[in-house]
Structure 1
Amino acid sequence: MKNPLSGKTIGNISRRHLLGTALAIGVVRPGWAAEPEKPKTLVVNSSGGVVNRALRKAFFTEFERRYGIRVIDTSPADTAKLRAMVASGNVEWDVTEIAGQDGVLVERLGLLEPLDHSIIDLSRFPENLKKNKFLFPRSVYSTVLGYRKEAFKQGHPVGWAEFWDVKKFPGRRSLRNHPVDNLEFALLADGVPADKLYPLDLDRAFRKLDEIRPHINVWWSAGAQPAQLLVDGEVDLASGWSGRFYDLVMKDAPIGIEWAGGAVKESDFAIPKGAKHPYWSQKFLAVMAEAERQAIYTNELGYPGLNLDLVKFVEPKVVPLLITNPVNLAKQFFNDLTWWADNQAVALDRWNKWMLKG
């Protein structure tokens, strides 16, 4: 996947803030004969949990205040359900979250309405994202290594090779029950450089996974699990989404985040094809594009938005824990989402068979 930051980092982005962008209330593109009547509600689907809490604080409340339309939130983000809705013509969502390689898939399948760039201002986004046709680039997220501080007073594992080193770093471990990221982590642990990961060597990755499998105590499936497993002392090391760890770190939980080998992905929002209120869906995404609103989301959850003016509004205490902090970003890699879109079915089938081997 091409780095969505397009060479930009917190340390070198512009500080200019365009206060007037994305506030174009009443602006109607040529394709809209007139501003459509306001619906009473707008349904926004997301991954739920702490993500939904942050979305409401940063975007839902402001959209409701600005337009008088109540936002109804649903979860989880579900590509299969999106496909079924579009196929049936009964589309329940006005906007939905689409993460990682699923964005490539749903765009290919024609499941989305195009973005209206006369409403959604992407002018202060990285160059390679400004002309996105269907996917609104909400943020980036990363799968990283979390650890329990009490278990590693003399130093925690740095990177996946040390996660695999059970003699040097004994302790209970947890990984996600899914091939995405785990295949990359296995190859990194086996010495493959981050810039040489793709195309993934499945045989080599599964051989390396065979080594760590006896030492995995919990295969997690829900995003909230790994951080809670660490806090509860059920495991000492766990892969997990950085925002879930961030949420507890900011509450002074005794856990830490190791960025080395983190797997970074773009997280998008989009309008399902056949959505009932497409104009107001565009207006909602326009609110999501604003730097000040994105900063509220980032402060709440640690997933940085991609408006380049974001840093101007982020709380200083948050910056060391941002995926896009130059120090952190340099240690991570970007998943190749196109490779995953092309190969996910094969990789998932092999993963499921591998898990069944017991």
Structure 2
Amino acid sequence: MNGRNPGSRTLPALTRRTLLKAGGAVFASTLAAPYVARAQGNVLYINTWGGPWEEAAKKHIFAPFKAATGVEIRTVSPVSFAKLAQQVRTGTYEFDVTTLGAGELLRAEEAAIIEELTKAPYEGALFHNGVASHAFATVIGYRKDKFPNGGPRNWAEFWDVERFPGARSLQRYPARVLPLALLADGVPVKELYPLDIDRAFASLDKIKEHIRVWWTAGAQSTQILRDGEVDLIGIWHGRYYEAEDAGAPVGMTWNQGQIERAYWVVAKGTPNVENAKKFVEFAVSAKPLAGFVTEADYGPLNPAANEFTSTDDAKRMPTSPENYAHTFEQDIENFGGDIREISQRFEEWVAG
């Protein structure tokens, strides 16, 4: 990763609106259970997503952190909010540090299961006791052999089954799909949040019979696009590039890509709290973060990481100025309803 990305800039910090009821069980007990069966020491346990994510983290974050501090990193996967909550309640810790999306972060803070973080490693890093690390985007991907003149350029065109006929796929995840349904129905990005939930479901009704696969895992989304099982897909940008790098005849657009942020958090009451906080600060420092996001296909949220990111690498990142200008950010604090109730409604709708 040689050379600076000259056009990189800082993404705007998320606002602190009144917390919505962010869904899921709220673990509001005083958490007075005796802490830990696992002895502390120079070992830190990190909850990871496994696979390519973990491999990139080991190479660019975990190994350099051990070299710098002498603290050994061991991993537990996959990422689990339920385990985070359970271990804090019981005092038996499987891991000290994990990453959460914005919705889970709000739940974790409300449930008092993460440590308070007051030191911002860089300007704008802190959000509800999470430290912003990296970003990814849900984008439109399509098969070039199905659409040789180009695929959909926005979600309204993705919904247009006459102009773009073919099998479709979306993620079985309402927090990501409902905003896309509203964009398809003509809602401007600036007026998207709070979401009009009923209108979003009405929009989904129009496309439902054309959704061949409601994908539930990133690897699955890559496979069905790469192998031509579907012609159009809403897919994470990194998973799209996996299909492209494998030689599949695929195309995509950044237009109306939906950006989400990932945050490092520290488990409440972990006996390794000091090493955990040191790790989080290290993990979002410029050079380790740049290496991680480049290999794992994310975008860095610490702008200093751009000093170690080449212009070519930045072209694949949702945080580069050229791509970011065409995207929008999910606003989980202003979602428009109780996520737990909406998720239940969505599952019933998919099954119905």
One-letter code aligned to 2:273: P
Structure 2 distance, partners of 1:325, 1:152, is 27
Counterpart selection for 1:271 from 266, 269, 272 = 266
TM-score under structure 2 normalisation? 0.85
Aligned position for 1:355: 350
The aligned counterpart of 2:20 is none
SS across alignment from 2:230: coil
Q: Give me the whole-angstrom Cα distance separating, in 1, the residues matched to 2:337 and 2:286.
A: 33
Asked if 1:62 corresponds to 2:58, the answer is no
Q: Deviations for 1:97-121, whole angstroms, at most 9, x for unmatched residues? A: 111311111112211112262xxx6
* Structure 2 spans left out of the alignment, 5+ residues: 11-38
SS at match of 1:140: strand
CA distance in 2, matches of 1:276, 1:248: 42
How far is the alpha carbon of 1:250 from its aligned partner?
4.4
Q: Which amino acid aligns with 2:132?
A: P
**SS of aligned partner of 2:348:** helix
> Could you say which residue in structure 2 is the equivalent of 1:4?
none
Q: How does 1:301-316 map to 2 (within 5 A)?
A: 301-316=296-311
Following superposition of structure 1 onto structure 2, how do residues 120-159 of structure 1 map, counting pairs within 5 Å? Answer: 122-123=121-122, 125=123, 128-129=124-125, 131-132=126-127, 134-159=129-154
- Give yes or no for the alignment of 1:11 onto 2:11: no
TM-score (norm. length: structure 1): 0.83
Query: Gapped runs of 5+ residues in structure 1?
Result: 1-8, 15-36
Distance 1:266 1:213, change over 3 A: same
Report the equivalent of 2:86. Answer: 84
Describe how 1:1-358 pairs up with structure 2 within 5 A.
11=7, 13=9, 39-115=41-117, 117=119, 122-123=121-122, 125=123, 128-129=124-125, 131-132=126-127, 134-250=129-245, 252-340=247-335, 343-357=338-352
Given residue 319 of structure 1, which amino acid in structure 2 is its aligned partner? A
Retained in 2: the 8 A contact 1:292–1:313?
yes
Partner of 2:35: none
Structure 1 segments (4+ residues) deviating >6 Å: none
Alpha carbons of 1:115 and 1:260: their partners in 2 closer, same or farther (altered >3 Å)? same
Q: Which residue of 1 aligns with 2:15?
A: none
Going from structure 1 to structure 2, the CA distance change for 1:60 and 1:293 (only over 3 Å counts) comes to same
Deviation per residue, 1:308-337 (Å, 9 max, x gap): 122211122212121012221122111111
**Cα RMSD (Å):** 2.1
Distance 1:78 1:38, change over 3 A: closer
How many equivalent pairs are there? Answer: 320
CA contact (8 A) 1:46 1:52 kept: yes
How far apart are residue 38 of structure 1 and its match?
A: 7.7
> How far 1:356 moved relative to its partner?
2.2
Instruction: Measure, in 2, the Cα distance between the counterparts of 1:190 and 1:293.
Output: 41
Does the 8 Å CA contact 2:181/2:200 hold for their aligned counterparts? yes
Deviation of the 1:149 alpha carbon? 2.4
Q: 1:342 to 1:110 in 2, by over 3 A?
A: farther
Which amino acid in the other structure matches residue 49 of structure 2? S
Return 167-176 or 75-84, whichever deviates more.
Answer: 75-84
Question: Quick check: 1:54–1:301 contact (8 Å CA) kept in 2?
Answer: yes
Letter in 1 for 2:311: P
- Asked if the contact 2:8/2:320 (under 8 Å) is kept, the reply is no
SS at 1:182's partner residue?
helix
